[in-house]
Amino acid sequence: MANLGSNRRSDRGQIILVAAFLLAVTFVVLALVVNSAIFTENLATRDDVAGSHDALDHRAEVQASVGTALTSINNENGTDLSDKKGNLSKSIDNISQAGGLHQSTQGRLVDVNWDSSDSEEGVRIYQNNASRNFSSDSRDDDWVLTDSGNFDVRNFQMNITEPEEELFPLGGSEPFRLVANDTSDGDIEWNMTVEYDGSLPTGEGLVVNVDHPNHDEVSCTHELEDDAGFVLLDVTGASIDGESCHALSQLQDEDGTPMWFGEGVDEYQIEFQNADSIQGTYSFVGDDSMSTTGADDHPEDPDEAIYSVTVDYEFYTSQVAYETDIRVAPGEVPS
């Protein structure tokens, strides 16, 4: 018989040993699973790829910087077109260098290039004398600034001085009117009037009314600062002293009805009416389809100008690439 006494050698527990070994393997697999779970938490908290948002942010900065340079260079009176292009080329090189240097500290390669042939020429019509009303050179209060045509206008700004004295009061018969007049059809025009309102509960105000063929008249009111002496009306930028004016941009109705300058008219000529009811400076730039040969005499001769430029923008990091053209036409109304 087998010797099953207590003095036999100890070899019990084989199954427990095997089971313990298998459990150990299970724990190792569990450790892999827990490790993956921790890694997933880490992956979830990571930001987007570095530079992916900056590619677009910097693009907007470049567009704004080039726009500012273009506006400033166009406003230099007495320089001809080739001088303006030369100055703009230098400005764009500076913008590219400054931006590139800043971005290179974060490991990004950024470049902005401009070929001076990549531009659209235009004409700038303006008045710099802030003490003069908006009448023509021969003091006509109702006059035509441009020939009739299908053209675009941008950066139409008026700096209205002494609004409480010079502007026609609200409800008066002859407030200043800016008109984009379609002469082929007598009733079709986009127009804007500017009036002064001294009866606002909060003080004095400027009232801008806009009317065009596709919508009834809409108004916006801007409260004037005490003793400011002037107010800046940006017609194409739809703002008064920096405050947005829906009557010049887009209504918050169901259709988002646009009210932008020139809305509802295709071919038009620009006219001032009751130009003695406003005083200050004005300036706008038209594209190469705008001409002034048949227009009335301007108080200051229209200047050659650059209407728009197209620059080449490149943004590279080790993981992100964005290369595109950017068309810069500051103050242009949306199409």
Partner 1 sequence: MSPSLFDRSRPTDRSVSVALGYVLVLGISTILISGLLIAGGNFVEDNRERVIDSEMKVIGNHIAGNMEQVDRMVTASEDNMGDGPERAHINQSFQRLVTGSSYTVQVVDGDPPQVVLRSSDPEVTVHVNMTVQTDVEERTVSGGKISVYYDDSGSDGKLVITSA
Which positions touch partner 1 (CB under 8 A)? 2, 4, 15-16, 19, 22-23, 26, 29-30, 32-33, 36-37, 39-40, 43-44, 46, 48-49, 52-53, 55-56, 59, 63, 310, 319-327
Q: Shortest gap between Cβ of 41 and partner 1 (angstroms)?
A: 9
Nearer to partner 1, 297 or 323 (CB): 323
User: Which helix or strand (DSSP H or E) is residue 216 part of?
Assistant: strand 215-223
Cα→Cα distances 178→54, 62, 104, 320, 327, Å: 41, 33, 48, 48, 28
What is the residue type of 185? D
Q: Shortest gap between Cβ of 62 and partner 1 (angstroms)?
A: 12
Nearer to partner 1, 37 or 117 (CB): 37
Nearer to partner 1, 4 or 227 (CB): 4
Q: Are 214 and 257 in contact (CB under 8 A)?
A: yes
Q: Are 270 and 146 in contact (CB under 8 A)?
A: yes
Q: Shortest gap between Cβ of 86 and partner 1 (angstroms)?
A: 25
Q: Are 311 and 112 in contact (CB under 8 A)?
A: yes
Nearer to partner 1, 46 or 131 (CB): 46
CA distance 142 to 270: 11
Q: Shortest gap between Cβ of 253 and partner 1 (angstroms)?
A: 23
Q: Shortest gap between Cβ of 53 and partner 1 (angstroms)?
A: 7
Q: Determine the length of the chain.
A: 335
Q: Are 91 and 73 in contact (CB under 8 A)?
A: yes
Nearer to partner 1, 197 or 332 (CB): 332
Nearer to partner 1, 30 or 98 (CB): 30
Q: Shortest gap between Cβ of 335 and partner 1 (angstroms)?
A: 10
CA distance 68 to 88: 10
Q: Report which of 260, 212, 217, 214 is spatially closest to residue 235, judged by C-alpha positions.
A: 260
Cα→Cα distances 162→55, 169, 278, Å: 45, 13, 9
> What residues does 207 pair with on adjacent strands?
195, 221
Cα→Cα distances 27→13, 18, 31, 35, Å: 21, 14, 6, 12
Classify 32 as helix, strand or coil. Answer: helix
Q: Shortest gap between Cβ of 203 and partner 1 (angstroms)?
A: 40
Nearer to partner 1, 175 or 237 (CB): 237
